[in-house]
Amino acid sequence: MDSEREKMLAGEPYDPSDAELVADRRRAESTAAEYNRTDPDESDERQRLLDGLFGSVGEHVSVEPPVRCDYGSNVHVGDRFFANVDCVFLDVCRIEFGDDCMLGPGVHVYTATHPLNPEERAAGLEYGKPVTVGDDVWVGGRAVLNPGVTVGDGAMVASGAVVTEDVPPRVVVQGNPADVVREIE
């Protein structure tokens, strides 16, 4: 039988109160809190903590504290990744950023979701859908990437946008829900 962790990662309904998952969230919360207490000149310590928090970390990565995540281990960032202050990663499924991605302050990335049916929701089960962000993507401050979306290479998500559907490569999206407003030459 699949563990609750295996079901979670596969995007199947899972029980978030499972002891292993609770322990993993506490570990991530503790590591993130330690990271968030670091000083700007503690780059080696920040790197060590990010390597322990995220599933994979490219080269020349910068994440400005504070940062929050559910598990951390499902967050994968490429080379030259930058996240400004107050970013949130609800990573019950994989969140993957390509190379040369930049996140403005307060960007939220959600993979966690819940059943629409209120009786199923009341039963406490959750599920998730992965989020994938290509190379050379800029996500403006306070934007939200919702479960299951893919943002194509070279795209720009404007500040405050709420991305509910896939974003094609080399376009600018804005609004709630986010719509393509122009192509990038």
Please answer whether residues 121 and 101 qualify as being in contact, where contact means their C-beta atoms are separated by less than 8 angstroms. Answer: no
DSSP secondary structure string, the chain? ---HHHHHHTT--B-TT-HHHHHHHHHHHHHHHHHHT--TT-HHHHHHHHHHHSSEE-SS-EEPSPEEESSSTTEEE-TT-EE-TTEEEE-SS-EEE-TT-EE-TT-EEE-EE--SSHHHHHTT-BEE--EEE-SS-EE-TT-EE-TT-EE-TT-EEPTT-EE-S-B-TTEEEETTTTEEEEE--
Query: 114 an active-site residue?
Result: yes
118 φ/ψ sector (left φ>0, alpha ψ -120 to 50, else beta): alpha
Give the residue numbers marked as catalytic. 114
